[in-house]
A and B are shown apart, each in its own frame.
Chain A
Amino acid sequence: MRPGALDRDQRRFSLDQLLQHGLNAIILGGTYALLGIGLTLIFGIMKVVNFTHGEVYAFGAYVMFALVMPLGVNFFVALVLAMALGILLGAAIELLLLSRLRDADIDTTMLVMIGAWIAMQNTEQLAWTGVAHSIKNPFPPEPLVWGALSVSWNRLFVFAVASLLIAGTYYLVNWTKFGKALRATFQDRDTAALMGVRIDRVNTATFALGSGLAAAAGALLGPVFVVVPTMGDLAASKAFAIVILGGLGSVVGATVGGFILAFAEELGSGYISSGYRDAMGFVLIILILLVRPTGLFALKERIS
């Protein structure tokens, strides 16, 4: 065999590999964006850093597990139910903990949310023990193959639903009356209140919506990976990295940030070291801080 032919084969191989990583990243980026949008909405409207976000994500995954595995509920019905329960949980957290702290400074609400996070995570650990569970999915086990690329049906479904939810959120924020109230509150809370926007309701609805998105992400990814009580920590740290990348409060930023993080992780774990996959978010944060501390899509100056 001529040496040139081998070279070309190797190059094609690595190009295929690169494309496969890219495809994986796009699929993963959808759920990352979902997580980031929920967090960034809550911060933008309520000025609350939601440390319970990861726990709501884990809650979504556990509801999915509890419904599908022991109870045998239909997979798709369970998905809808998990999201609905996530919305309810979010509304409960807001009404119980945050509604009385509306005029408190950001550090105070942060401490309360950290307390809630610790309590929720350990309650999950206590209730479901540390054992990892897997969730059966109704999709064919053999992947969809297209040339040298392959993707499992389950992941494709996850991506489709995530895209649908992202599009739905954009529609909700930009073209509905509720979205108008949301954007008005974001721009100027006091003026919006004077114009008749019920700020307390906007707050509750925002927190419920953000939590619903997080629970949906958990319910979608639960069947892809396994379900463990600590899964929320990783999800939360990724969501934080995403919103820092995009700029806190920016929905577009969170969407783009989710895909950037997914690409960085895929390429980083494929070409550098898989052990540092979860450190990629931090590397990106450092780069952003060095180059553009305001984030990619920041809406206002960060240093008060």
Chain B
Amino acid sequence: MTRWLPHLFVLFLASVPLWMTDNYILHILITTGIFIIAAMSLNLLLGYTGQLSLGHVAFFGIGAYASALLSLGFEAHIAPGLLVKVLPKPVWFAMLGGIASAAVCGYAIGKLAFRVRGAYFVIVSISFAEVVRLVALNWVELTQGPMALNNIPALKLGAAGLELSFLKKPMVYTLVLAVAVLSYVLIRRLVQSRAGRAMIALRENESLATSVGIDVTAYLVLATVVASAIAGAAGALYAHYVRIVDPDIFLFIYTVTMVIMVVTGGKGTLAGPIVGGVLFGLLPESLRAMAMPPEVQWIAYGVLMVLVVYFLPRGIVPAINERWGAGEATASPLRNLVVAAKARS
């Protein structure tokens, strides 16, 4: 029975546009879905490699900006005297471009930032996101700065005669759900592969992992590239859904939202970001229903984050698993092995 539960859940989610006619609820589901995709990708870094990356919103924003710019076309001076001109591209191509740009940035920043660990890595990742925001704000020729990129086209697939337009909410919802399922499957394959075991090993004990021949930095960079590509995909979905992108997309508060989703749900579990994402995707809406100013929402986030660390340090999903005895990745034999080795050393 439990085997089929995820499939039934996805089927149920897929059926939502068939009977849900309220556009506002669909909108909440779409934004929650986009955030869940981003949170799942962050979980790969935070949960499986154990690196607290606090610049994740940068990859989300880079995906959004790159995809929007490719679909709109742009002209910009890359260097003095070097003018790059790009004509508008089809949206599906632009979205792939957005994903690729985020992945390339992930590779570069991974190579650089994984020279250090712990507190240093955290600070470097935050400053990276901050600089990307400053570039988006100041490179007006390319990004329009605070004036934002407007009129971003929605996704259209297929040739003339049989066209699928992703302008209406039910279609966007289906697309987001498809990307979310795809990302989930991709992350699960990765985590359960040899590379995934290497990541968990280095999370548990980096020196031990190195000593048995695991190229720690290579796996950290791999995880960063995959995570940033998926975050870029979420950003591209976002850009072509709300159809306007401004530098506020890089605000630190969005990284915090992703982190709190992952930590509350349970980092290092596949279901964790989904549980946390649903919770924190719907919480702001209920707060808004009570007519609270937005600051109250963020204060609630901050306080909740502290409370979760105190009372549910490993998150909701591991707590449920412990109570009902269903083991997930947290109780893998490899982990026990590593823990045993750690205890001996």
Which residues does A use to contact B, with CB under 8 Å? 43, 49, 97, 100, 106-108, 110-112, 114-123, 125-126, 233, 237, 240-241, 243-244, 248, 273, 275-276, 278-279, 281-282, 285-286, 289-290, 293, 302-304
Contacts and interface: CB of A to CB of B under 8 A. Distances in A.
A244 B303 CA distance: 28
Interface stretch (B83-91, B131-139, B335-343): B131-139
B112 A286 contact: yes
Contacts of B93: none
B160 interface: no
- Sorted nearest first, the 6 A-B pairs with minimum C-beta distance are A119-B302, A115-B305, A118-B302, A275-B138, A115-B306, A122-B298
B117 A97 contact: no
A49 B123 contact: yes
Contacts of A100: 310
13 contacts: A43-B119, A110-B119, A114-B256, A114-B305, A115-B305, A118-B305, A122-B296, A237-B126, A237-B130, A241-B127, A275-B138, A285-B124, A286-B112
Contact of B127 (A97, A118, A240, A303): A240
B17 to A, nearest CB: 34
A289 B263 CA distance: 29
A304 B117 contact: yes
B309 A111 contact: yes
Nearest to A48: B119
Contacts of A123: 295, 299
A112 B313 CA distance: 11
B120 A118 contact: no
B127 A289 contact: no
Given A275-B134, A293-B115, A304-B206, A115 B302 contact: yes
Nearest to B253: A118
A282 B58 CA distance: 14
Interface size class of B (residues with CB under 8 A): 35 or more
A259 B14 CA distance: 57
B116 interface: yes
Contacts of A244: 120, 123-124
B233 to A, nearest CB: 26
A116 B112 contact: no
B122 interface: yes
B300 to A, nearest CB: 8
A303 B117 contact: yes
Given A244-B120, A303-B117, A126 B299 contact: yes
Nearest to A273: B138
B293 interface: yes
B235 to A, nearest CB: 21
Contacts of B135: 279
Nearest to B52: A107
Contacts of A290: 112
B298 A118 contact: yes
Which of B207, B293, B295 gathers the greatest number of chain A CB atoms within 10 Å?
A: B295
Contacts of B120: 244, 248, 302
Contacts of A112: 305-306, 309-310
A110 B302 contact: no
Contacts of B182: none
A240 B123 contact: yes
A289 B113 CA distance: 8
A297 B82 CA distance: 40
Interface string B129-158: 011001101100000000000000000000
A87 to B, nearest CB: 22
Given A49-B122, A108-B309, A108-B313, A278 B115 contact: no
A106 B119 contact: yes
Contacts of A118: 253, 256, 298-299, 301-302, 305
B252 interface: yes
Interface string B45-57: 0000010101000
Contacts of B295: 122-123, 125-126
B273 to A, nearest CB: 15
B299 A122 contact: yes
B259 interface: yes
A97 B302 CA distance: 13
Contacts of A278: 130, 134
Contacts of A289: 112-113, 115-116, 124
Nearest to B139: A275
A117 B299 CA distance: 9
Nearest to A295: B120
Contacts of B74: none
B335 to A, nearest CB: 16
Given A118-B256, A233-B252, A237-B130, 8 more contacts: A43-B119, A111-B309, A115-B309, A122-B295, A248-B120, A279-B135, A289-B113, A303-B115
